[in-house]
Homo-oligomer: A and B are copies of this chain.
Amino acid sequence: MKVKLAVSIILLTICFAAFGQEKQAVTNVEKGLTKVSVMYPYAEGKTFDLEYYETKHMPMVAGFLGSNLVKYTIEKGVSSGIPNQPLPFMAIGTFYVKSLSDYQAAIGPNRDAIRADFPKYTNITPIILVSEVVR
Contacts and interface: CB of A to CB of B under 8 A. Distances in A.
A54 to B, nearest CB: 6
A92 B39 CA distance: 13
Contacts of A79: 130
Contact of A132 (B54, B75, B130): B75
Interface string A71-87: 11111111111100101
Contacts of A88: 39, 127-129
Interface of A: 1, 4-5, 8, 11-12, 15-16, 18-19, 22-23, 25-27, 29-30, 34-36, 38-39, 50, 54, 58, 71-82, 85, 87-89, 92, 100, 127-135
A129 B4 CA distance: 57
Nearest to A15: B15
Q: How many copies does the complex hold?
A: 2
A38 B85 CA distance: 14
Contacts of A36: 81
Given A22-B22, A26-B29, A73 B133 contact: yes
Contacts of A133: 73-75
Given A4-B1, A26-B22, A88-B129, A134 B82 contact: no
Contacts of A35: 75
A127 to B, nearest CB: 5
